[in-house]
């Protein structure tokens, strides 16, 4: 049993023995002792005073005496204003390292011990390739999925593909006008990049047409509504919704190009999905449920035929659900998608939507509407809202072709890693395939870690070169020290040094920072899962790595002064590498054995 849980259990038994009152173990608040006080763990005794009928200080004294007299690891205590500071027997940590910290799935809860959660991420439009913002989105959603699994949840990873609407129609119109039958094969381009090229071409042609109309005397607003390109895109959308065979055929073809491009990018990212949903399917389901809600009096209809939901009593306003002509809005599609998912997975406890913070209001409305339609899970659904990734040169604009393409950025990261490795001579003796694997792993780990170490709620500035530095709070720093630890363990094995069956050395003050870091993994996973915040795991990985790096600098491991010390340090190194591998796995980062 981990120390904090053990102390809660023993404190509950000691309290009942001292005061004749039974209190549940989880009511005893156990914390790390503050550095300015003596002790390893602290029990807060103020809430216990009403049960003991004594002052907090007196309660702490009695409880401390009972814990020291018991058979547990507490060997001393002091009381500071109602806080019971406990001193833990040094040998406890040796035993813990050999027992609990050695468990293969240390830090994880049993599989499927918590309710099913669905995590949505990526959710791209099919008119352009994935970009830097999608990288943060995918890495967040994928990492949160792994963290929730580690916390015991059954997790289903999904994306909703935004494959219908005016955006894809714009690319279709431009391809018809300018494409001359071009395909990904004839162009030598990934399909998503080819379609994105025509999205940019549409915007350029549209702006020219609008400018010509303005020059001819038309006001700007009218010119942007009557430019031939936009009128043709709107007509294309109408034909699609009517099921026109030629329009639907081109839509399917161009979307298939995009899907192939997306799949290639996802493989490079190292993310995957269990199920895909398509807006072209779910918007019809949403429309049917909205009409059903209208019949049941949940929603209201205005004179023009539009359907609205009134959320004023919920602190929001009125929200359009169906236009007067019966066509769907984005909210309609999201209602349909959510309800289809509840239907597909009857045991689904909640859905987590990984979407940028500009959509916070949208999801407040969605969850309220789902609740009004009678789905109790709605109040447990969560919008994993995240800030934008900004660049020194300003915001990205898809229509102007100024986005930072995800594929290009990952290749840039791989190139930076290659340059650093070549300068350091780290690739000597490796063939081309092995070299590529090294700099891809280093470059991708740097990118993922940099994007995940920041609290999702915050905007961030991405700096490729800073992210790949081998010093400081970076992925490569963590990889380097993991490889160092694994190298030590391999060398020990080569020298015939097996892992000891027991330890005779007790942990000292020098070892405690590293040991406490390893010990904290279950709490970090639990908190990260409850807050949907991978940055807690990322920064735990960095703090743990920093503690190992610092310890390694001052404490030889294989060349330790005696066998007992060497064995202790070998075990610590093994537990460090194992726990760090777990933590980085939760971030979607695979650690190399060599680099």
At 449 the pLDDT is: 97
Residue 556 has pLDDT above 90, yes or no: yes
- Three-state SS letters, 366-413: HHHHHHHCCCHHHHHCEEEEECCEEECCECCCCCCCCCCEHHHHHHHH
Residue 379 tokens read as 């109040």
Crossing angle between the packed helical segments 563-586 and 521-531, to the nearest 10 degrees: 10
Q: What top-level class would CATH report for the domain 114-390?
A: alpha beta
| CATH, range 406-586 | 1.10.730.10
**Per-residue model confidence as pLDDT tens digits over 138-173:** 999 999 999 999 999 999 999 999 998 899 999 999
DSSP E strands, 71-127: 74-80, 83-88, 114-120
Residue 401 has pLDDT above 70, yes or no: no
At 400 the pLDDT is: 44
DSSP string, 491-550: HHHHTT-PPPSS--SPP-HHHHHHHHHHHTHHHHHHHHHHHT-HHHHHHHHHHHHHHHHH
Residue 392 has pLDDT above 70, yes or no: no
At 398 the pLDDT is: 40
**Per-residue model confidence as pLDDT tens digits over 30-70:** 999 998 999 999 999 999 999 999 999 999 999 999 999 99
Q: Measured on CA atoms in the order 126, 131, 137, 138, is the torsion positive or negative?
A: positive
**Distance between CA atoms of 417 and 479, rounded to whole angstroms?**
13
Portion of the chain with pLDDT greater than 70, in percent: 97
What confidence tier does 402 reach under pLDDT thresholds 50, 70, 90?
Answer: low
Average pLDDT score over residue span 198-222? 96
Using an 8 Å Cβ cutoff, are 153 and 146 in contact? no
**Distance between CA atoms of 593 and 595, rounded to whole angstroms?**
7
**Per-residue model confidence as pLDDT tens digits over 243-259:** 999 999 999 999 999 99
Using an 8 Å Cβ cutoff, are 90 and 507 in contact? yes
CA dihedral 143, 144, 146, 151 (to 10 degrees): 150
The structural domains of the chain, with segments of one domain joined by +, span 3-88, 114-390, 406-586
**Residue 355 φ/ψ, nearest 5 degrees:** -145, 145
Of 76-90, 422-436, 484-498, 509-523, which gets the smallest average pLDDT? 422-436
Average pLDDT score over residue span 371-389? 94
The distance between the two most distant Cα atoms of the chain, rounded to a whole number of Å, is 94
At 383 the pLDDT is: 98
Residue 399 has pLDDT above 60, yes or no: no
Q: What is the pTM of this model?
A: 0.92
Average pLDDT score over residue span 103-124? 95
**Distance between CA atoms of 60 and 571, rounded to whole angstroms?**
36
**Fold exhibited by the domain 3-88:** Gyrase A; domain 2 (3.30.1360)
Residue 5 has pLDDT above 60, yes or no: yes
What confidence tier does 1 reach under pLDDT thresholds 50, 70, 90?
Answer: low
**Distance between CA atoms of 500 and 260, rounded to whole angstroms?**
51
């Amino acid at each position: 049993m981990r120390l904090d849980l053990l102390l809660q259990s023993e404190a509950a038994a000691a309290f009942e023995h001292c005061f004749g009152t039974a209190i549940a173990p989880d009511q005893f608040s156990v914390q790390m002792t503050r550095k300015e006080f003596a002790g390893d763990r602290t029990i807060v005794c103020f809430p216990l005073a009403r049960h003991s009928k004594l002052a907090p200080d007196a309660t702490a004294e009695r409880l401390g005496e009972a814990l020291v007299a018991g058979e547990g690891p507490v060997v001393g205590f002091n009381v500071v204003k109602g806080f019971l500071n406990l001193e833990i027997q040094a040998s406890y940590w040796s035993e813990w390292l050999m027992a609990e910290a050695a468990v293969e799935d240390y830090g994880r809860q049993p599989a499927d011990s918590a309710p099913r959660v669905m995590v949505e991420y990526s959710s791209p439009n099919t008119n352009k390739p994935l970009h830097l913002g999608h990288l943060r989105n995918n890495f967040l959603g994928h990492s949160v999925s792994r963290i929730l699994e580690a916390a015991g949840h059954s997790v289903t990873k999904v994306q909703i593909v935004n494959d219908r609407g005016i955006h894809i129609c714009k690319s279709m119109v431009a391809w018809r006008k300018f494409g001359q039958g071009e395909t990904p094969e004839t162009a030598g381009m990934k399909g998503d990049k080819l379609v994105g090229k025509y999205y940019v071409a549409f915007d350029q042609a549209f702006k020219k047409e609008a400018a010509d109309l303005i020059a001819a005397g038309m006001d700007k607003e009218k010119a942007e509504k009557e430019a031939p390109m936009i009128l043709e895109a709107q007509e294309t959308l109408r034909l699609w919704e009517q099921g026109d065979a030629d329009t639907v055929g081109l839509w399917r073809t161009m979307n298939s190009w995009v899907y192939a491009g997306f799949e290639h990018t996802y493989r490079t990212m190292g993310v995957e999905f269990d199920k895909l949903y398509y807006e072209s399917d779910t918007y019809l389901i949403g429309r049917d449920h909205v009409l059903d809600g209208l019949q049941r009096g949940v929603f209201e209809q205005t004179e023009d035929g539009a359907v609205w939901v009134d959320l004023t009593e919920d602190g929001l306003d009125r929200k359009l659900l169906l236009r007067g002509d019966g066509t769907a809005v984005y909210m309609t599609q999201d209602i349909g998608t959510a309800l289809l998912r509840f239907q597909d997975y009857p045991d689904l406890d909640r859905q987590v939507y990984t979407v940028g913070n500009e959509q916070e209001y949208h999801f407040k409305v969605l969850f309220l509407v789902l609740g009004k339609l009678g789905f109790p899970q709605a109040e447990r659904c969560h919008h994993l809202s995240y800030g934008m990734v900004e660049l020194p040169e300003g915001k990205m604009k898809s229509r102007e072709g100024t986005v930072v393409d995800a594929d290009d950025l990952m290749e840039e990261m791989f190139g930076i890693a290659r340059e650093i490795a070549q300068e350091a001579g780290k690739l000597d003796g490796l063939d081309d395939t092995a070299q590529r694997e090294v700099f891809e792993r280093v470059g991708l780990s740097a990118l993922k870690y940099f994007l995940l170490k920041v609290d999702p709620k915050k905007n961030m500035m991405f700096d490729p070169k800073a992210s790949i530095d081998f010093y400081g709070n970076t992925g490569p720093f963590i990889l380097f020290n993991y490889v160092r630890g694994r190298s030590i363990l391999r060398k020990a094995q080569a020298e015939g040094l097996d892992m000891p069956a027991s330890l005779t050395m007790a942990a000292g003050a020098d070892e405690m920072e590293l040991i406490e870091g390893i010990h904290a993994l279950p709490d970090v996973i639990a908190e990260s899962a409850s807050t949907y915040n991978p940055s807690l795991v990322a920064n735990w990985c960095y703090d743990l790595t920093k503690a190992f790096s610092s310890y390694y600098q001052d404490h030889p491991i294989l060349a330790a002064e005696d066998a007992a010390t060497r064995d202790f340090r070998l075990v610590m190194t093994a537990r460090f590498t194992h726990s760090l591998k777990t933590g980085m796995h939760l971030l979607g980062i695979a650690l190399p054995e060599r680099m």
